[in-house]
Structure 1
Amino acid sequence: MNEVVLKKASGRIEVTLKAIRIGKDLLVVITGGAGHIGAVGAGTNCGGMAVSSVMTTPGHRDDRIAKDAAERISKKLGCNCAVIAGVHYDGITAQEIKDVLILSSTLVDELEGALRTEG
């Protein structure tokens, strides 16, 4: 089973992406700060078109990270993908929230190359 861990930081914000191969599919965990399960996204690739859905834990706002990552990963890699996202920083600012989204997106972009290196 291949496993990849990637990290990115901006100021006090650090986001970690951990990906584990399950056969041809992927389980991805994106966390930062006080990690938790805030949202779970599922993505699948149907004939080159990726679709995704998301379930959010009440009171959490990690759904954008989970849904976007699941859809992008399944489209780019042509596999089923489950993404668990949970990022929490006390007193997070609007700019830091943007940083979390940018860092998460960048890590998803880097995942394909990292998996190729591992495999």
Structure 2
Amino acid sequence: MLSTSLTVGDKPYAITAMVTLCGHDAVIAVGGGEAPHVGAAALASPRPSLEQNGEISATASVLCVMGHKDDLLARDAALRLASRLNTTVLVSVGLHLDQATKEDIRQLQVNFDQMISAIEIWLKHQKR
């Protein structure tokens, strides 16, 4: 197995990820803010697009810790990576800032999106 650690952004909006290749599949743990944790996990598997256009899509199953709102981030990231890389992907996400404002949440989202792009680039490079 091959692993890497990536960080995007500065405190308190820093997002850190641990990415591990398990054969062709990927396991990704993403944490950030003031209290990284496991808030939700999504497992996505690639499949042919339902539009029957020859493209790869994905389907996902999600588990979320009660009271957490990390499930949409985990699901979107897992679906994106599984369909673009045509492989099974497990993504765990836990981001937290105390008393987060809408702007705080927006900045965490921007950094999270940049992190998923960085992970995609790293994974594509490993699959060469």
TM-score clears 0.5: yes
| 1:4–1:118 contact (8 Å) kept in structure 2 | no
Structure 1 residues 1-119: aligned runs within 5 Å: 1-10=1-10, 12-32=12-32, 33-47=34-48, 48-117=56-125
Q: Distance in 2 between matches of 1:13 and 1:25?
A: 28
The residue type equivalent to 1:103 in the other structure is N
| 2:43–2:60 contact (8 Å) kept in structure 1 | yes
Secondary structure, in 3 states, of the residue corresponding to 2:63? strand
Provide structure 1 residue ranges, at least 5 long, that are not aligned to the other structure: none
| 1:45–1:79 contact (8 Å) kept in structure 2 | yes
| 2:85–2:124 contact (8 Å) kept in structure 1 | no
TM-score (norm 1): 0.90
| 1:4–1:115 contact (8 Å) kept in structure 2 | no
Shift, 1:22, TM fit: 0.9
Secondary structure, in 3 states, of the residue corresponding to 1:112? helix
Structure of greater Rg: 2
* 1:28-73 Cα deviation digits (max 9, x unpaired): 0110121111101111101211112211100111111100110011
* Greater than 4 Å deviation, 4+ residue runs: 116-119
Q: Distance in 1 between matches of 2:30 and 2:11?
A: 18
The residue type equivalent to 1:25 in the other structure is D
* 1:3-26 Cα deviation digits (max 9, x unpaired): 121111156211112110111101
Q: CA RMSD in A?
A: 1.6
TM-score (norm 2): 0.85
Provide structure 2 residue ranges, at least 5 long, that are not aligned to the other structure: 49-55
Q: Distance in 2 between matches of 1:21 and 1:42?
A: 14
